[in-house]
Each structure stands twice: as C-alpha cells, then as structure tokens.
Amino acid sequence: MIIIRPIRNSDYDVLHQIAVESGHGFTSLPVNEELLLSRINRATKSFHTELENCRDEGYLFVMEDTKTGEVVGTTGIETAVGLHDAFYHYHVGKVVHSSRELNIYNTVETLTLNNDYTGSSELCTLYLRDNYRVNNNGRFLSKCRMLFMAEHTARFNNTVIAEMRGVSDENGNSPFWQWLEEHFFSMDFPTADYLTGIGKKEFIAELMPKYPIYVSLLSKEAQKVIGKVHQNTVPALRLLENEGFVNRGYVDIFDAGPTVEAELKTIKTVRNSLRLKVQIGAIQSSTKAMICNTKVKDFRAVQMSIEINQIDSIAIIDQETAEALQVTNGDFVRVAKS
C-alpha cells in the first residue's frame, strides 16, 4: 500500500538521495547534510507544535510503499514564508511611454523586485521518484497537502502559493539567469540556486538591480522563458490550475518560473472535501478516494476504495485502510476525490 506520513529522522538517507535526484532548480532540498537534517528536525518540531503556538512551521511529508518500506517521494507545506529570510519575487508589470504631440504610444513590460508574498503559506518540495509515477501517485502526493490544510485550516494563512520550476537545461543553465549573471552577478545559476537553498540570500539584496527592469532589454532567450515552467513541471502546474490556482504576474528571480496563488478556502480539494465518521466494513465499490485521518503528528493519508453515506456522514472503509490510517470505528477521516 502507498501511504503518506510525516518525515522521520530515519528518512535522512533517502531524503538526501531525493535531493540529488531532483537536480538544479529544486531550491527547497539543497544537497547539504546540515540543511537536510535541519529540515527534518524543523518538520518534526512543526508536527508536534500545538495550534496555539503555531507561527511559521514547515511540514514535510513522505510517500512510502509499505510493501517494501521504501520512501518514494516528498511533499511539503510552509505555513508562513519570508518571516525570517527575505522572500523575493519579480512582478511583471507595465509602463506606458506616450507622446500626444508625436502620436506615439508604447507599452513596455517591466520586472519589479518585491516581497509581496511575505507571510503566505506555500506548497513546496514536491518530488516523486520516476518508477512510482503511476496510478495517480503524483496527484495524490500533491493533493494530500490540501487535505491536511482542509483539516487544519487554522494553522495556515489565507493566501496559498506555489513556486513552479522555471526553464533550465540538463546542466542547470537558465536563460533568464544567464542575462542577470552577465549584467549583475558573477556566479552561475546552480550556485545562486544552491546559496538560496541553504539560506544565504544576502547576495540577492546586495547585487540584484533595485529598479524595475525593462523586459525588452533582456536577451530574446530570457524574454521567452518569463512565466514558463520546466517541461517536467507542466503536470504539476496543470493540477494546481485545476485546483483554482492562478498566476498574477509573479515569477521567480532566478529562472523566471511562475508563482501561482489561491485563497485557502477556495482550493477545490479543500472546498469539496468531506469530514466523515469511520465505519469499518466490507467494500463493494471500486471507487477510490484520498482519505486522511484528522491527526497532526500521526497524520496518515491513503488512496483507497471507500463507500460514502452522505446522509449519515459516514465513510465505510475496510480493515486494511483503517489500520493504515490508524483509525477505528467512530473516528473521523477527511475524504476527497483523487
């Protein structure tokens, strides 16, 4: 069975391997032992934090194949970004240059550095190993975060964002960063991305241009990738768009990948999920759904067959599913379509 659970200290080795596999542009998992251990420790502390003490937690989950005990993916949520380290974006805007006398009117796109998303909750650290990209596992790994947020809305902020990986080649070269590097920096994209991932962001404020950049002055290659996603990120973007996330013109300062946003309570899975009482029994239906328990530190989520009695607000699940979720008759679960 495939389950999703909070990360543990014993997951370090596989988390390190996932950080290596994920490659350049996956800033939230730098290949750095100290930072990865810190990420696990922070997640553990977050899962044990009582609601009244919540402020800026970082939840990190893993997907596990219980048949083999193998961890095959990660997914995470930050409750409030930018409260300790500056959280930068570019916003794509417009300025107009016109002359009535000469009958000239030109609209020019600009990129303006900002911290507009400070305090927002963020969906992050989504990665699934290649041989498990089947049976809707990728969708489940992404959407299970929304089930957790639906059950524990008080832990999160109203605005939820997701930074989408921008365009870069197999060597980690970003056309957008190449232009910035040439004019403002003296380091390649993987180096800048790594420094950001380990929390050393001072160079951004020190070297990044302070004034709006005219997009027309960028190289043609850089202009083409603004707001575009890496080819491997297209399915993740489509899933979020189907959940109601939209791009309001914010892009990453390194690779110009889009950042999408939604209000927590309007996210499709959050809005349509049901909180139901458990009844353990035989399942006749083959219809599968995402099901999670209502716990925090002992959170569990599965994608299994279920029968729903909406009139009595009952979820009928089999014994195997109940054991995986660590629930018994009379407990509550939250359910949403896969």
> Which residues are the active-site residues?
230
Q: What is the CA radius of gyration of the chain?
A: 22
Whole-number Å distance between alpha carbons of 59 and 79? 8
Q: What is the rounded CA–CA span in Å between residue 245 and residue 279?
A: 34
Q: CA–CA separation, 75 vs 13, rounded Å?
A: 16
For residue 259, the cross-strand partners are 163
CA 227 – CA 29 distance, rounded (Å)? 22
Joined tokens for residue 277: 């009482």
**Are the C-beta atoms of 172 and 190 separated by less than 8 Å?**
yes
E strands present in the chain: 2-6, 58-65, 70-78, 89-99, 104-114, 121-128, 159-163, 213-214, 246-251, 258-263, 274-280, 288-293, 301-305, 307-309, 314-317, 332-337
Helix residue ranges, H only, 67-219: 137-151, 175-183, 189-197, 202-207
Which whole-number Å values give the CA distances from 119 to 115, 198, 234, 265, 295, in the listed order?
10, 20, 26, 17, 24
